[in-house]
Amino acid sequence: MLMRAHPNVLQALVALAAGLAQAASLAWPGNGAPLWWLQLASLAVLAWLLRPGAGRALAWRRGALIGGLFAMAWLAGTLWWLFISMHVYGGLPAPLAVAAVLGLAAFMASFYATAAGLFCHLAPGGTLSAALLFAALWLLAELVRGNLWTGLPWGAGGYAHVDGPLSPLARWGGVYGVGAVAAGVAMLAAQARRAHLRSRRAWALVLAGGALLAAAALARHCALGACDTTPRPEPVLSLALLQGNIPQDEKFQPGGGVAVALEWYADALRNAKADLVVTPETALPLVPGRLPPGYLDGLRQHYAQGSQAALLGIPLNDAQGYSNSVLGLSPGMALYRYDKHHLVPFGEFIPPFFKWFMALLRIPLGDFGRGAVVQAPFEWAGQRIAPNICYEDLFGEELGARFADPAWAPTVFVNFSNIAWFGNTVAIDQHLHISRMRALEFERPMVRATNTGATAIIDYRGRVTHQLARHTRGVLTGTVQGRGFDAHSGSAITPYAWWVSRWGLWPLWILGAVVLAIAAAAQRGLARRTRRSACMP
């Protein structure tokens, strides 16, 4: 009755509910687990709304609206914790903080609205061709979101699949490739649901989808080591990951969080027994010139002898300005430095035309300098350790650029983060799964040292092997085995690492554009044939 009376309202409500389900699939609010099946189901609902019958699609305006509502609910439901950083720690009035989150979600949702509208305008009659077109448009929308204005790909649909049967595809196509395949499977599922259960087409779609998921599940079974019994010659590295749990509202207070951080991290750095000791992002919250006299020199002397090394998160300043950096201390080696390349808009630099907005916030901010995309790894204990800071691990194409030169190809990634800006929220779980996806893409371990969580060790298969309880102060100890250059078979890197290090994301852009161009050409041909038949007597 409601569908007959108010079909537009009901479609909108279903789209909003499906979008929220997609947000929950990235990290279930109850336990933080990713739910691959929920991501597929929520996207299948969107596909079902856009293509309500075999060979039919919504009018493009209605399709754009439905797609936009789905994406806005998904993105607002994924990034709601930005409210905490802006309101609780930034002092922005709550109504303005809510408006900012919704405005950001609406802006990014416009990419998916465009994709949905194009799908409805170009939707072919064929089942497989419709699935390919939907997958290509979804891929292009994700790429636009991940690259426009420095990009914000947090919450891409593929992250829900780190534990799912599609996860082996990450080594071939990265998170965007996984997301595109998921979109295609969702469209196939939606069309199978629309087909008559006794029809051959319905059974063909069910069998095709089942075969795809079964093959992916077998590939995942092998990826988790069941099919690989070859011993790995890479050395094992013992780790001590420090989690200071300094409250964000005290972190930069000279008589509070600063004093606590300097004392606790200094003690932990001196007492740790591991091969490598790692602190979180800006664990030392002052530039070297403002540290207590002899503080940094004392740490350098401690690590100048023995068999240990340390990586310290610290802001640096020089003639070029400020940088969010990592310093490496080790015996017999010069001081190592890594500078963050991919800066956070509104956090580490102010985008053009937004100084008025930043004036409303009480967030300590300087326009930080950028490091190079590819910087030398920290070489220690037979490993090439590649740092990345905070949300730099969202950008797999930038981490992948480090594999272009086999001499610099990482054997271990280390992420330095501070998610205290977002409280004890699902943001911690979402970021953990982002790091797990990078491990799957490159088949390299990802080590995470964070201020409040998730401090963890992730092996090259994307599995969390060690994790410290969030929002506690402590030291996580464990071991990690790197993956590196194989002198017998050449550079032991994944297909994704190989092509993304040479061409970036251009192959995916081209693939999506080619499918879209073919669909547009087919639509024009159909329109011409329709016009000719209409003119015939």
Q: How far apart are the first and last CA of the chain?
A: 44
Stretch among 2-6, 33-37, 191-195 having the lowest mean pLDDT:
2-6
DSSP state of 126: S
Q: Which long-range contacts (CB under 8 A, 24 or more apart) does 194-203 make?
A: 194/48, 194/51, 194/52, 194/53, 194/54, 195/54, 201/54, 201/127
pLDDT in tens, 175-206: 999 999 999 999 998 887 655 444 555 556 55
Higher pLDDT, 202 or 505: 505
DSSP state of 162: T
C-beta of residue 167 within 8 angstroms of C-beta of residue 42 = no
pLDDT band at 535; cut points 50, 70, 90: very low
For residue 14, pLDDT over 70 is answered with: yes
Structure tokens at 282: 């800006």
For residue 401, pLDDT over 90 is answered with: yes
Which residues have a Cβ under 8 Å from the Cβ of 376 and sit 6 or more positions away?
336, 408
Arithmetic mean of pLDDT over the chain: 88
Higher pLDDT, 536 or 17: 17
Alpha-carbon radius of gyration of the chain = 25
pLDDT band at 39; cut points 50, 70, 90: very high
Predicted local distance difference test score (pLDDT) of residue 407: 87
Strand ranges across the sheet with 236-243 = 336-339, 321-329, 309-318, 276-278, 236-243, 474-481
Strand ranges across the sheet with 412-417 = 378-380, 383-389, 412-417, 446-450, 456-458, 464-467
Q: Say how far apart CA 47 and CA 332 lie, in whole Å.
A: 59
Predicted local distance difference test score (pLDDT) of residue 320: 76
Q: Is the entire prediction scored with pTM above 0.85?
A: yes
pLDDT band at 127; cut points 50, 70, 90: confident
For residue 88, pLDDT over 60 is answered with: yes
C-beta of residue 375 within 8 angstroms of C-beta of residue 338 = yes
Predicted local distance difference test score (pLDDT) of residue 527: 56
pLDDT band at 18; cut points 50, 70, 90: very high
Residue 150 zone, left/alpha/beta (φ > 0; ψ -120 to 50; rest) = left
Predicted local distance difference test score (pLDDT) of residue 414: 98
Using CA atoms of 485, 494, 372, 383 in order, give the dihedral in degrees to the nearest 10. Answer: -30
Predicted local distance difference test score (pLDDT) of residue 364: 61
Q: Which residue has the tokens 């802001």?
A: 315
- Written in H, E and C, the secondary structure of 110-122 is HHHHHHHHHHHHH
Q: Which amino acid is at 13?
A: L
For residue 227, pLDDT over 60 is answered with: no
Predicted local distance difference test score (pLDDT) of residue 220: 54
Q: Which residue has the tokens 């299948």?
A: 44
Q: Which residue has the tokens 């070297």?
A: 288
**Closest-CA residue to 18 (of 49, 46, 54):** 46
Q: Which amino acid is at 460?
A: Y
Structure tokens at 234: 């890479």
Residues marked as catalytic:
281, 340, 390
Stretch among 97-111, 128-142, 364-378, 448-462 having the lowest mean pLDDT:
364-378
pLDDT in tens, 487-497: 444 458 999 99
> Quick one: average pLDDT of 309-317?
96
**How much of the chain, in percent, has pLDDT values that exceed 70?**
82
pLDDT band at 119; cut points 50, 70, 90: very high
> Quick one: average pLDDT of 34-44?
97
For residue 467, pLDDT over 90 is answered with: yes
Enclosing H/E stretch for 193: helix 170-194
Task: List the alpha helices (DSSP H) in 94-169.
Answer: 94-122, 127-147
For residue 534, pLDDT over 60 is answered with: no
Q: Say how far apart CA 92 and CA 534 lie, in whole Å.
A: 61
Output the CA torsion sign for 98, 103, 104, 106: positive
Predicted local distance difference test score (pLDDT) of residue 198: 46
Stretch among 211-215, 247-251, 416-420, 451-455 having the lowest mean pLDDT:
211-215
How far CA 434 is from CA of 139, 331, 415, 429, in Å, comes to 18, 33, 11, 9
C-beta of residue 419 within 8 angstroms of C-beta of residue 448 = no
Predicted local distance difference test score (pLDDT) of residue 134: 96
Structure tokens at 465: 């092997």
Phi, psi of 317 (to 5 degrees): -140, 140
**How much of the chain, in percent, has pLDDT values that exceed 90?**
71
> Quick one: average pLDDT of 380-409?
95
**Closest-CA residue to 47 (of 140, 104, 112, 143):** 112
DSSP state of 383: E
Q: Are strands 412-417 and 383-389 parallel, antiparallel or unpaired?
A: parallel
The per-residue DSSP string of 300-331 comes to HHHTTSSS-EEEEEEEEEETTEEEEEEEEE-T
Predicted local distance difference test score (pLDDT) of residue 475: 98
Q: Say how far apart CA 84 and CA 88 lie, in whole Å.
A: 5
